[in-house]
Amino acid sequence: MNTPSTGRLNGGDLVAEVLVRQGVRSLYTLCGGHISPILVGAKRRGIEIVDVRDEKNAAFAADATSRLTGVPGVAAVTAGPGVTNTLTALQNAMLAQVPMVLLGGAAATVLRGRGSLQDIDQMTAIKPFVKWAGAVTRVADLVPTVEQAFREAQSGVPGPVFVECPIDLLYDESLIRDWYISSSGKGPKGLTQKAMNLYLERHLAKVFADVDKVRYGTAAHAEYAEPRWPLIEAAARMVAGADRPVLVVGSQALSRPAEAHLVAAAVEKLGIPAYLAGMARGLLGKESDLQLRHKRRNALKEADLVILAGVPCDFRMDYGRVIGGKAKIIGVNLELSTLMKNRLPTLPVPSEPGRFLQALAEHKLAAGRSWPVWLGKLKERDAGRDAEILAMADEVCPPMNPVRVVQAVEAAMEDDAILVADGGDFVATAAYVVRPPKPLTWLDPGVFGTLGVGGGFALAAATVRPESTVWLIYGDGAAGFSLIEFDTFARLGKGCIAIVGNDAGWTQIARDQIVILEDDVGTVLAPTAYDKVAEGLGGVGFSVSDIDELPGVLEQAKKLAKEGKAVLVNCHIGKSEFRKGSISM
C-alpha cells in the first residue's frame, strides 16, 4: 500500500516512520548532531533507542538483531569517524551474509568539500564493505532510499547496506533556512551577498521540494532463490543411493529465523547424521540422536555423500580437501560463486539452504531414511571424544582448568540461554563442550573470525530476547574490545552474564607462535581484574580462582541477570593442552 505522509515532518521523522513500517523495534546508535532527528523521531514512534559507547558495537548489535529476528537490524551513526568506526562490523556482516542497515550522517549538502566538520568522502570509503550504498540529496528521497535499502539488504545474497543522510535533510525546514540564510548574511553586503542568498534559496528549494508528495511503501521481505524441483529430485536420488551420508548445516540455513523449527524438523525427517556450524548450532537441541559434535573431519573423509547446506568449502572445511575424493557432494548456497569455490560439488544447488532441506525432506526417496550402522559408528567415535574431554578436564592446570570452567557454565545454563562467543582459545574450548539448548541460541562472528563482537551481539540478544539469559563467553583478549558496553548494559538495565576465561594471554596465537618461532612477543597480557572493570562501569563483578566456588557464583549471576543486572565472572584459568596445534588459517 502507498500511504501518504501526514503533516510537515522533518527528515528524521520520515526516516523513523520508514523504520517502524519495516518492522524495526530497536535502533542502535551513538549520538551525534548529524543524526539526532532520526533518534528523536524513532523514540517518539516507540522504537527502543539503544545507545552504545562505540559505533562498531552499534553495528554489531544490528547484525545480531537481524540473525535473531529476521528483520534487518538498524544502526545510526554520525558522520565521518562515526561511519568509519563501523567498517569492521560491516565487513563481518558482509562475509556472514547478514542483512542490516546502517544510517550514516553527513555534512550539509551545501557544505560538501568546504571543510565542514567530519566531512569526508564516505561513499568511496564504505562501498567495499557493503552490498549496496545510497546517498540522499533531497528530503523527499529519504523515504524511497531507506525503503530501497531494506529491499537490497534482503534480496539475493543478503548483506549490509548503507544510507548517507546529510544533516540538512533531517532537521526542520525552518531551522535549516535560518542556519543557511542568517549565517550567509554575516559577511560583507552587496552583490556578492545577494548572489549567495539567491543560490542558497534555490538550493533550499531543491532540497525541500516535493516533501508533501512523499508516500510510504510496504515492508520489504527476504526474496531468496527457492530450490528448483529437478534439483530436489536429483538430490533425493543421491540420498537414496548413499551408504554413508553426512549433512553439514551452516548459518545460511537459518536465514529465515521464523522457519528454524521447520528446518530442524526437516533435518530430523531426513535422518542423515548431521554436524551443525555457526548459527545452526543448537538447531536440533541438546539430545538429538542425529547430531554429532566431534571428529567431523574423519566423518567427511569416510562419507560417500556430503550435503553442505549453507557451508562453503573455505578454510573451515580445509578448502574442500577434508571431504573424501570419491564422495559425491551436494552444495547448497545462495551465492553461486561460493558454491563453486575450491571444490566443485557434484550437484550445485543455488538456493536457500533452509528451504532446500525442507523440500528434500518431503521427497519420498529422501524422507524417513536411516543409516543405523553408519550413525552408530559416528556416535561411538563421538562418545570416545567426549570421554577424552572428560579426562582432560581432570588435567591439573591451576588456578582452574578451562574445560572444567566451561563444563560448569553448561551445567548452569537453562533452556532460555543465548550464547554469544567472542574470543579464541577459551571460546573454542567452550564450543567443544557447551551445547546450545535450541535453535537461534548461538551467536558467533562467522567466517571473518572477528574479535570484538561480544558487547554488541550480547546487547542485541538482551534487547530482542529480554526473557532469555544471555551468556557472553569472552576470551580475556577479546574482552578488551567491547567491555566498555557494560556501561550500556548497566544504564539500560540489560541483563547479561559475561564469563571471561582469564589466562593472561592471547593463547590461541601463542600456542603455535612459541612452538614455531620460539618467542611469545605480543601474546602476553596481564591477569587483569576484569570484574573490577565491570563494577566500575555499573555492573556486578566476581573473581573466581577455585572451581568448587564457580557453580555458586554462576547461580548468583543468573539471579542478578534476571533482575536486569550486568554480571561479569572473571575466571582465572591455567594453560591447558586441550587445544594444542589447533590454529586454522
pLDDT of 144-184, one tens digit each? 999 999 999 999 899 999 999 999 999 988 888 887 766 55
Looking at 161, 194, 216, the residue that finishes a domain is: 216
pLDDT in tens, 325-363: 999 999 999 988 889 999 999 999 999 999 999 999 999
Q: Please, are residues 532 and 462 in contact by the beta-carbon 8 Å criterion?
A: no
Share of the chain above pLDDT 90, in %: 78
Give the contacts of 187 (CB within 8 A, at least 6 positions apart): 193, 196
In the predicted structure, residue 193 carries a pLDDT above the cut 80: no
Return the DSSP state at 289.
S
For residue 357, being part of any structural domain is answered with yes
Query: Do residues 370 and 419 both lie within one domain?
Result: no
Query: Do residues 46 and 87 both lie within one domain?
Result: yes
In the predicted structure, residue 268 carries a pLDDT above the cut 50: yes
Q: What is the mean pLDDT of residues 67-92?
A: 97
For residue 385, being part of any structural domain is answered with no
Quote the number of domains for the chain: 3
By C-alpha distance, which of 453, 449, 488, 487 is closest to 472? Answer: 453
pLDDT band at 8 (very low <50, low <70, confident <90, very high): low
Query: Do residues 401 and 486 both lie within one domain?
Result: yes
**Which residue blocks in 8-160 are alpha helix, DSSP H?**
11-21, 36-44, 55-69, 81-84, 87-96, 122-126, 142-154
Query: Do residues 320 and 370 both lie within one domain?
Result: yes
Total H helices, total E strands in the chain: 23, 20
H-helix or E-strand spanning residue 390:
helix 372-393
Confidence at residue 1, expressed as pLDDT on a 0 to 100 scale: 41
With cell 538483531, the residue in question is: 65
In the predicted structure, residue 369 carries a pLDDT above the cut 60: yes
For residue 583, being part of any structural domain is answered with no
Query: Do residues 58 and 167 both lie within one domain?
Result: yes
Query: Do residues 208 and 62 both lie within one domain?
Result: yes
Q: How far apart are CA 401 and CA 545, in angstroms?
A: 10
Strand-pairing partners, residue 160, are 100
For residue 222, being part of any structural domain is answered with no
Confidence at residue 497, expressed as pLDDT on a 0 to 100 scale: 98
CATH code assigned at 236 = 3.40.50.1220
Query: Do residues 128 and 64 both lie within one domain?
Result: yes
Looking at 328, 358, 380, the residue that finishes a domain is: 380
pTM: 0.94
Confidence at residue 115, expressed as pLDDT on a 0 to 100 scale: 57
Backbone dihedral region for residue 205 (phi beyond 0: left; psi -120 to 50: alpha; all else: beta)? alpha
Looking at 380, 403, 431, the residue that finishes a domain is: 380
CATH code assigned at 398 = 3.40.50.970
Query: Do residues 212 and 355 both lie within one domain?
Result: no
pLDDT in tens, 410-458: 999 999 999 999 999 999 999 989 999 999 999 999 989 899 999 999 9
Confidence at residue 236, expressed as pLDDT on a 0 to 100 scale: 97
Backbone dihedral region for residue 535 (phi beyond 0: left; psi -120 to 50: alpha; all else: beta)? alpha
Other C-beta atoms lying within 10 Å of the C-beta of residue 212: 11
With cell 553495528, the residue in question is: 59
Query: Do residues 73 and 20 both lie within one domain?
Result: yes
H-helix or E-strand spanning residue 572:
strand 566-572
Query: Do residues 273 and 175 both lie within one domain?
Result: no
Q: What is the mean pLDDT of residues 200-213?
A: 83
In the predicted structure, residue 34 carries a pLDDT above the cut 60: yes
Q: What is the mean pLDDT of residues 117-141?
A: 91
Burial label for 200, CB within 10 Å (0-12, 13-18, 19+), is middle
Confidence at residue 189, expressed as pLDDT on a 0 to 100 scale: 64
Cα 575 to its chain centre, rounded Å, is 30
pLDDT in tens, 485-517: 999 999 999 999 999 999 999 998 898 899 999
For residue 260, being part of any structural domain is answered with yes
For residue 22, being part of any structural domain is answered with yes
Q: Which domain, by its residues, includes 160?
A: 3-216
Backbone dihedral region for residue 575 (phi beyond 0: left; psi -120 to 50: alpha; all else: beta)? beta
For residue 581, being part of any structural domain is answered with no
Mean pLDDT of the chain: 92
Confidence at residue 4, expressed as pLDDT on a 0 to 100 scale: 44
pLDDT in tens, 375-392: 999 999 999 999 998 888
pLDDT in tens, 528-554: 999 999 999 999 999 999 999 999 999
Q: What is the mean pLDDT of residues 216-227?
A: 86
Query: Do residues 367 and 427 both lie within one domain?
Result: no
Query: Do residues 30 and 132 both lie within one domain?
Result: yes
Return the DSSP state at 164.
E
**Long-range own/partner contacts, residues 519-526 (CB < 8 A, 24 or more apart):** 525/476, 525/477
Confidence at residue 401, expressed as pLDDT on a 0 to 100 scale: 95
For residue 335, being part of any structural domain is answered with yes
Q: What is the mean pLDDT of residues 233-238?
A: 97
In the predicted structure, residue 253 carries a pLDDT above the cut 70: yes
